[in-house]
Amino acid sequence: MRKVWSNAGRVLLILLILGVGYLLSYFKPMPATEPALSAMKSRNAVTVTTTSDVIAFQPAQKATLGYIFYPGALVDPRAYAYYMHSLAEHGIATYIVKMPFSFAFFGNDRAANVIAAHPDIHNWVLGGHSLGGVSASIYTATHPNQIKGLVLYASYPAADISKQIASIPVLSISGSNDGLATPASIRASKPLLPADTRYVVIQGGIHSYFGEYGHQPGDGEAGISRENARAQILSQTLQFLQSIH
């Protein structure tokens, strides 16, 4: 009888796994749009390569700084290619990590694979958008000796990590009109990050301006053009990355 129940338990577990897998596969990532799709091509002294795990943007010159980026939930990772390609044009090696089922919390530790694959780069910054930023925060808090900077796009940690990353510079960029990571939630999360975290608010910016994938359900109404917001986000990110040594 015990063997019967044991076999039944295995069957139920398999069915549960298959059921969860089916549900996750039902939700399709929001597709990338221009100019991100064009940024997937090698140009301007940047070589773009894609594998099953990562999209890499390698500058022509040897990079001393690497920037790993975790996409938002259910967002095509290519949606962040414009930002990553543009940063690579300034000599920073950038990597967009592809996540299982397009949810970063299923791949919190995937930054480790990128770092291990590039032992010649010794300075690493980790960033993420929305739920990708939550996962990036988790990895940074558990690897404070490995990560030298944290960038959060419309995101904040799920728990207090201020002590774990007290010596790590943090940049938080958000939008004043964001309907998902609202200004109120960003303000409420400040105690979770170091006191010297740099906060930048894109006036009129919304959640979906941090990637190129159209308008996201539940987001706010933009009060600024996507082009203007994109330029500000890129400028602030580049300035922060160039300060990391």
Half-sphere exposure of 78 (CA within 13 A, CB side): 18
Give the per-residue pLDDT at 102: 87
Tell me the one-letter amino acid at 39.
Answer: A
With pLDDT > 70 as the criterion, what percentage of the chain qualifies? 89
Give pLDDT tens digits for 214-243.
999 999 999 999 999 999 999 999 999 999
The reported pLDDT for the residue numbered 10 is 57
Once rounded to an integer, what is the mean pLDDT over residues 76-101?
97
Average pLDDT value for residue range 24-48:
89
| Cβ density class 141-164: b for 16+ within 10 Å, e for less | bebbeebbbbbbbbbbbeeebbeb
Residue 116 has pLDDT above 70, yes or no: yes
Q: Do 58 and 47 form a contact (C-beta atoms < 8 A)?
A: yes
Find where tokens 């990532």 sit: 29
122-149 pLDDT tens trace: 999 999 999 999 999 999 999 999 999 9
* pLDDT tens digits for range 57-69: 999 999 999 999 9
| The pLDDT value given to residue 245 | 79
CA-based angle 209:238:162, to the nearest 5? Answer: 85
In this predicted model, what pLDDT tens digit does every residue of 142-198 receive, in sequence order?
Answer: 999 999 999 999 999 999 999 999 999 999 999 999 999 999 999 999 999 999 999
Rg (CA), the chain: 19
